[in-house]
Structure 1
C-alpha cells in the first residue's frame, strides 16, 4: 500500500547536515532541508543555511511557513490563525479599492477597528475556533466598552473575513451569520434649522471674526443652497461652477488618509456624481468670491495658501463658531479662569488630565464658548487649589455667565444639520423623496426619508378625507 501524500501546504521531516567546515574540520555552516507539497499538488524541496544547526533549522522552518502562506491559490485551513485571515481580507479590500469598488477612507476606518479591537480580541485564535458564541461574546464586550457603532463596524469586518474563510475552504458556514443583531439606542429624529435659526446662524457667523477668518459664512451658505456634504463642498473647483447657467458639478470629495494626507477622491457612490442648480443668493455669493480673483483649477473654498481644506478641521471650526459665545460675561469669566490657571502654574493638558476632560473643553471654557454652571466652575478651580465660594468676584461672574443667551439656540448645530435643513426645505416645497435623494447624492430613498427629512405633521389631506368619509351623523 502506497504512502498517503502530504496534505496541501504541509511539509515533511526537516533534515540537517554539515555544509562547510574550517581548516580544522570544525563545522561553520549547516544546511537544513525539507520537502513541501505546494498548492498545485507538486512536492518541492526547500533549503536554508545557518551558522549552527538550530539556526539552519529555524531558517528553513520560516521559509516553509512563508511558502505555505504565500503560495496559497485560494485555500485555507481551520488551523490558520485569524490574523492571517484578516491579512488576506485586507489585501482583498485593497484590490477592491484599486478597482474603484470601495473607498480608501472605509479601509482607514476598518484598519482602526482591526488594530484596536478585532485583532486583540480574536487575532491569535485559529479559524476553526471562531465559533458563533465566542464571536458573539467578543462583539458584546466591544459594544459595552466602545459603543454600538464600533461594534457594528467590527461585526462587518469579522463577517467579511469569515465569508472569505468559507470561500477558501477553512469553514463550512459563516459563524457571524447567527450572531445577535447589534442594536443601538434610538437616535434623535432628524432636526432641521427653522427659518429663524438660519437667519440667526448667518448673523452669528458673519459677526464672529474667527468664523469669517475660517471662511465659514460663505461655506455654510453654499451647503444650505446645495445640500452637499462638507467634503464635497471643499472639493469643488472653480471650473466646476457655471455661473451663467447657475449650476455646480459635484464629482469629488476631500478625505484624509493615514500616511497620505489629504486626497481628492471620487464621491462614495455613483449617485454622488450630480449637477445641481444653485439658488440666486448662492450665485450672488459665488460671483462676489469670483470677483476677488480666482484660478479655474483652485478650490472654491481653499485654505490660506490656496490648497484643499481638511474636512475635520473645518467641522471643528464650525463647532467652535457655533458653541455658545453667549455674552461678554462668558468671555470675561473665561479670561478670569485662564488667569487663575496660569497663576497656579498649570497648562491646559495638565488640567484636562487631572479632571479626565478633553483638553478642548478647557479651551472652550477659557474662550467663553461653552455654557457653564456653578458646579463645573467649582470643579475646575478646585484643581487650582481654589474654593469657588470664597471668591465673591468670581461667583458674581459665574452667575452672570449662566444667564441664557440668544446664541445658545445654535449650540446643537453640526455640519450635517445644514444638509438636513436643505432636504427638509425641499420636502416642504413638495419635492418627492426621489428628487431630494438625487439632490443629496444618495442612492437609497429610504436613507433620505429616515435620516435627512425633519418630521412634519402627518398628511394634512388626511383630515379632509376622513371628514368626507365619516360626515354621516348616523355613523356616530
Structure 2
C-alpha cells in the first residue's frame, strides 16, 4: 500500500441488546502510516453503515495528518490551499512578504479559487481545466484578478510538486495573462500642477482634509500615499531637506490601521526634497512631537490611505464643485420643506433612491430638465424660481477644475518620474526614487511618453547626405 492509503474495510458486531439485536458494530482496516508502518485503525457505530462511515472519516483525517509534509494527488485543492496559506503566513511573519499581499491573496482564494477548484483533487488540476477556470475569472472579474489567481495557483501547485503530489506544475503551460493598465501612463503638465495646487488651496473641504500639503509632498518625493502618511517628524531633516521613507500605512482585516515596514529592502530610502516641498514641511513644523506623523488625522494619529484617496477624488470630481454642492444643499432644503423623504420622492419619480442622494450631495451632474422634474414633486416650477434657476445655470457650467477630474494619487508619482526623466536622470535613478525593483516597470508604468525627439532628425541629417536620385 502507498503511504497514507488503506486496505479493505471489515465490520463486526461488538455489542447486542437482550434480544440479540446488534446495537454497536466495529469497522476495521489496515492503514499504512507516514512512517511506513501498517497499523490497524478501527471505528464504531450503531450499525454497519455508521461504523464504516466513521472509519472512512478517521482514515481520511489520518491521511491528512502529514508528519513528513507529503502530499498526494488524491488530496483536494482546498487542503493544498490550506497548507499554502500557512506557509505564506509564515513568510509574512518573517518579513519576506507584506501583510497586505496576504490579504489580497486570501481574498482571491476565497472569492475565486476555492469556489472553482476547491473540491477537485490535486491530480485532477490539469492545464486545460486551470486554463478554463482562469479564463472565466478574467471574463467575470478582470485580467488583474485572473493574474493574481494564476500566481496563487502556480505557487500552491509548485508546493505540491515539491512534496511529491504531482511531477509537473500544470500552471506552467497555462496562457500568460496580460493585465493592461486601465489608463495609459499620464503625468501632469506644469500648468496642470499649478492648477491642481491652486484648486486644492481654494477648496475649503480639500484644505480641511489636508490635501494641499499632502499633494505637494507627494509630488516632491514621488512616494506612495501610504508611505507619505507613515512619515514621522523624527524622519524629517528640515536643515538638510531630506526625509526617510521606511514604512507605509495599511489597513488589515481584524487589525485596523497599521504602520508596517516597506515591502522591500529598497523601500527604505533617504530622499532629498525640492526646496518648495521642504518649505511646506517647515510651515507645518510647529510644536510637534517627533513620534507624530507629519500628515496626521484630526486626533493626531495615522490617516487611512483610502480616506485620503476618497477626499482627493471628491475634491477633483467634475461634480464636486462648490456650485454643484450648493445646488444640492438647496434642493435638499426644498425637499425637507415639503416634508418628503428621499424614498417618497424617488417613488413618485420612479428613480432609484440613491439618485436623490447623489443630487443632494452634489455627486451627480444635473441639467435644467432634471432639476425641473425633481422640484415638480415639491409643487414648484423652475421657471417661477429665478434664484434657483440662476443656481442651476451656474452649476451646469464647466469649471476650470474639471480638467483635473482624471487625476489619482498614482498620477502624482508618474508626474515626479516624468519630471526626473526630462531632467536627464537615468531610469535606474528614477526607479530608486520611486522604490521600483524593476526599471522596466518604472519606464512602462510611471514615465510619461515623451514627445518625438527633435535631436534624432539632426543626427540623421549629419549621418547621411541627401541622396542623389537623379
TM-score if structure 1 supplies the norm length? 0.85
Alpha-carbon separation, structure 2, partners of 1:137 and 1:337: 51
Alpha-carbon separation, structure 1, partners of 2:373 and 2:129: 47
1:175 counterpart = 2:170: yes
Give the corresponding residue for 2:341: 345
8 Å Cα contact 1:326/1:408 also seen in 2: no
Shift in alpha-carbon separation, 1:134–1:389, aligned structure 2, 3 A: farther
Give the corresponding residue for 1:120: 115
1:154 counterpart = 2:123: no
Alpha-carbon separation, structure 1, partners of 2:376 and 2:57: 60
1:63 counterpart = 2:58: yes
Q: 1:223 aligned to 210, 218, 222, which one?
A: 218
Deviations 1:48-90 (A, max 9, x none): 5667776665554433322211225233222221111111221
CA displacement at 1:129 relative to structure 2: 2.0
8 Å Cα contact 1:229/1:419 also seen in 2: yes
1:313 counterpart = 2:307: yes
- State the Cα RMSD in Å: 3.4
Shift in alpha-carbon separation, 1:131–1:157, aligned structure 2, 3 A: same
Equivalences, count: 462
Alpha-carbon separation, structure 2, partners of 1:172 and 1:355: 59
1:372-411 alignment runs, 5 A limit: 372=366, 377=370, 392=383, 398-411=392-405
1:18-417 alignment runs, 5 A limit: 34-47=29-42, 58-184=53-179, 187-291=182-286, 293-324=287-318, 329-339=323-333, 344-346=340-342, 365-372=359-366, 377=370, 392=383, 398-417=392-411
Secondary structure of 1:416's match?
A: helix
8 Å Cα contact 1:326/1:407 also seen in 2: no
8 Å Cα contact 1:326/1:406 also seen in 2: no
CA displacement at 1:465 relative to structure 2: 0.6
Alpha-carbon separation, structure 2, partners of 1:389 and 1:453: 53
8 Å Cα contact 1:48/1:59 also seen in 2: yes
CA displacement at 1:426 relative to structure 2: 1.0
8 Å Cα contact 1:341/1:347 also seen in 2: no
8 Å Cα contact 2:161/2:167 also seen in 1: yes
Give the corresponding residue for 1:456: 450
CA displacement at 1:475 relative to structure 2: 6.6
8 Å Cα contact 2:335/2:378 also seen in 1: no
8 Å Cα contact 2:147/2:179 also seen in 1: no
Moved more, 46-55 or 23-32: 23-32
Segments of 5+ residues of structure 1 without an aligned counterpart are 1-5
CA displacement at 1:346 relative to structure 2: 2.8
TM-score if structure 2 supplies the norm length? 0.86
8 Å Cα contact 1:437/1:448 also seen in 2: yes
8 Å Cα contact 2:74/2:121 also seen in 1: yes
Alpha-carbon separation, structure 2, partners of 1:40 and 1:395: 85
Segments of 5+ residues of structure 2 without an aligned counterpart are none
Give the corresponding residue for 1:3: none
Alpha-carbon separation, structure 2, partners of 1:36 and 1:339: 77
Shift in alpha-carbon separation, 1:339–1:130, aligned structure 2, 3 A: farther
Alpha-carbon separation, structure 2, partners of 1:385 and 1:53: 76
